[in-house]
């Protein structure tokens, strides 16, 4: 039986009879959604709908399509970069797939105070790996106020915030996937776009991610006719293995996977890159299990993974999946996550572009 995720991909690609019929059925809804998005953007641009401005700097990181551009690793990289520049940085997630309705403090100083069931897997993963405050909440205006008033946050990074226009921002960073060759396309549900590609004009900085090579990224950027906007390139890279012991995460060297029998287990939007990284580390993939994005693992899933992976040296997962799988009693040292970091081109120029927007914070710190 075809999975929902594979069916959606077939519909977006109009692949086969089922894909074409699904696309035809989805087209009216896509046209309706496109109309709503365009009207909403028009109302904001004309000032009829207004964004709420708060006394802190908001940096939004987002994209035009559904998943796969590396938003969360980029948010973490940016938060660490600004934290190293002595800014009081916080991260705000919408808490996707979490059951909490209000604003939740997910973690502070690398210690988590919430579960994936409450605030979603991405928020908990960010709280585990960032030394500042991480909040989650669907009402991000209220959450931003809490970040500033309770935690003294001066720079708040809004994860997946390009479409969230209720909250004013100092800077909009737009991520574009270099391997998504189509730069324009149908909006949801007939295609992967969340808003038209013309919305690129709202971005202050554009970051092209996941290019197979620098030339591929540059070709993609040229196809968008981006003019007058600072343009950067970023690629995810394996950084370490993560092992969880009684909820404490420990980094292990990547070479531990070399020539070992492994089974990748993932519930992410685009697992192909994850699998490629494992192969590049010279691991032998003898089986794999792919779940839908943001999958909630059950005891039955754990039992299946354990049974299938008996002949493996390691079960390799992602950090986003580790926060949900670590509660299960895997064999000692068998479950590890592949940590992915972002490599961003021309970091000094990138930081200068960000800092030019944050000068007001520097003046306030110095009492000017």
Closest by CA position to 349, among listed 229, 230, 211, 236:
230
For residue 327, give every residue at least 6 positions away whose Cβ sits within 8 Å of its Cβ, in sequence order, or none: none
Q: Please state the pTM of the whole predicted model.
A: 0.91
Q: Is the pLDDT of residue 246 over 70?
A: yes
Q: Which two tokens stand for residue 286?
A: 């003898």
What integer is the mean pLDDT of 63-88?
91
Q: How confident is the model at residue 361 (pLDDT cuts 50, 70, 90)?
A: very low
CATH 1.25.40 fits 237-341, yes or no: no
pLDDT in tens, 90-130: 999 999 989 998 999 999 988 899 999 999 999 999 999 99
**pLDDT for position 122:** 94
Structural domain boundaries in the chain: 4-45, 57-235+343-365, 237-341
For tokens 């209220």, what's the residue?
Answer: 142
Q: Is the pLDDT of residue 29 over 60?
A: yes
Class of domain 57-235+343-365: alpha beta
- For residue 201, give the DSSP letter: G
**pLDDT for position 368:** 36
Using CA atoms, how far residue 94 sits from 104, 152, 185, in Å, is 10, 20, 26
What integer is the mean pLDDT of 70-77?
92
Could you check whether 57-235+343-365 and 237-341 share the same CATH topology?
A: yes
Q: Is the pLDDT of residue 212 over 60?
A: no
For residue 4, give every residue at least 6 positions away whose Cβ sits within 8 Å of its Cβ, in sequence order, or none: 292
What integer is the mean pLDDT of 325-352?
93
Number of helical (H) and strand (E) elements in the chain, helices listed first: 12, 15
Q: Is the pLDDT of residue 69 over 60?
A: yes
Q: Is the pLDDT of residue 362 over 50?
A: no
**pLDDT for position 258:** 97
Is 299 in contact with 271 (CB distance < 8 Å)? no
Q: How confident is the model at residue 215 (pLDDT cuts 50, 70, 90)?
A: low
């Amino acid at each position: 039986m075809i999975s929902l995720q594979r069916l959606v991909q077939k519909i977006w690609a109009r692949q086969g009879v089922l894909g074409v019929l699904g696309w035809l059925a989805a087209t009216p809804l896509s046209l309706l959604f496109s109309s709503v998005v365009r009207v909403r953007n028009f109302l904001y641009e004309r000032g009829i709908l207004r964004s709420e401005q708060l006394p802190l700097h908001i940096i939004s990181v987002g994209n035009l399509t559904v998943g796969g551009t590396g938003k969360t690793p980029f948010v973490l990289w940016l938060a660490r970069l600004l934290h190293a520049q002595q800014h009081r940085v916080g991260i705000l997630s919408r808490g996707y797939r979490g059951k909490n309705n209000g604003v939740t403090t997910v973690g502070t100083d690398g210690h988590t105070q919430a579960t994936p069931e409450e605030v979603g897997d991405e928020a908990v993963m960010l709280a585990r790996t960032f030394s500042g405050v991480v909040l989650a909440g669907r009402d991000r205006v209220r959450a931003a106020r809490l970040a500033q008033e309770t935690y003294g946050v001066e720079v708040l990074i809004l994860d997946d915030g390009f479409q969230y226009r209720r909250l004013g921002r100092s800077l909009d960073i737009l991520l574009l996937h270099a391997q998504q060759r189509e730069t324009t396309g149908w909006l949801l549900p007939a295609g992967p776009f969340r808003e038209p590609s013309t919305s690129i004009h709202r971005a202050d900085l554009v970051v092209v991610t996941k290019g197979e090579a620098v030339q591929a990224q540059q070709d993609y950027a040229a196809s968008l006719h981006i003019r007058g906007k600072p343009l950067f390139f970023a690629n995810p890279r394996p950084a370490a293995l993560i092992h969880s012991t009684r909820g404490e995460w420990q980094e292990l060297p990547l070479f531990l996977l070399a020539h070992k029998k492994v089974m990748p287990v993932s519930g992410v939007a685009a697992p192909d890159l994850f699998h490629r990284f494992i192969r590049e580390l010279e691991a032998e993939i003898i089986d794999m299990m792919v779940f839908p994005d943001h999958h909630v693992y059950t005891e039955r899933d754990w039992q299946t993974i354990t049974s299938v992976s008996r002949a493996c040296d390691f079960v390799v997962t992602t950090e986003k999946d580790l926060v949900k799988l670590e509660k299960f009693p895997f064999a000692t040292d068998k479950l590890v996550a592949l940590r992915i970091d972002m490599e961003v081109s021309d970091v000094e120029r990138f930081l200068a572009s960000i800092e030019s927007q944050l000068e007001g914070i520097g003046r306030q710190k110095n009492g000017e």
